[in-house]
Amino acid sequence: MRDPKIPSSHTNRLVHTAFGWYALTREQSDLGPFPSKQEASEALSRHIHVYKGVNTRNDSDGKPHSGISLHDSAHCHKTNCALCAEAYILRQGMVAS
Ligand SMILES: [Zn+2]
């Protein structure tokens, strides 16, 4: 199901976990968890607005992470990381559906 309120550029940065929705960022901390995808998207919009002008890298330079199977939680430097949360859930045997 597509939500017209979610910008297409956000699609690959919004992650659903058993804790809720996260928005992936290139900063120290991902955003979330949020109870809905819409709220995660709005938080991401605010985040991008705040970091515009601070982060000189182009916003189209790719995904912040390449995938959970390659994510190294033990050496992750983020303080709030959606992919670490997912890895934790997987270790606990929880199902994020
Ligand atoms: Zn991480």
Domain ranges of the chain: 8-92
**pLDDT over 50 at 61, yes or no:** no
pLDDT score of 56:
53
Buried b (16+ CB within 10 A) or exposed e, 57-79: eeeeeeebbeebeebebeeeebe
pLDDT score of 91:
84
Q: 91 CA distance to ligand 1 centroid (A)?
A: 14
Q: pLDDT band at residue 72, thresholds of 50, 70 and 90?
A: confident
pLDDT score of 88:
87
Q: 30 CA distance to ligand 1 centroid (A)?
A: 9
Q: pLDDT band at residue 55, thresholds of 50, 70 and 90?
A: low
**pLDDT over 70 at 96, yes or no:** no
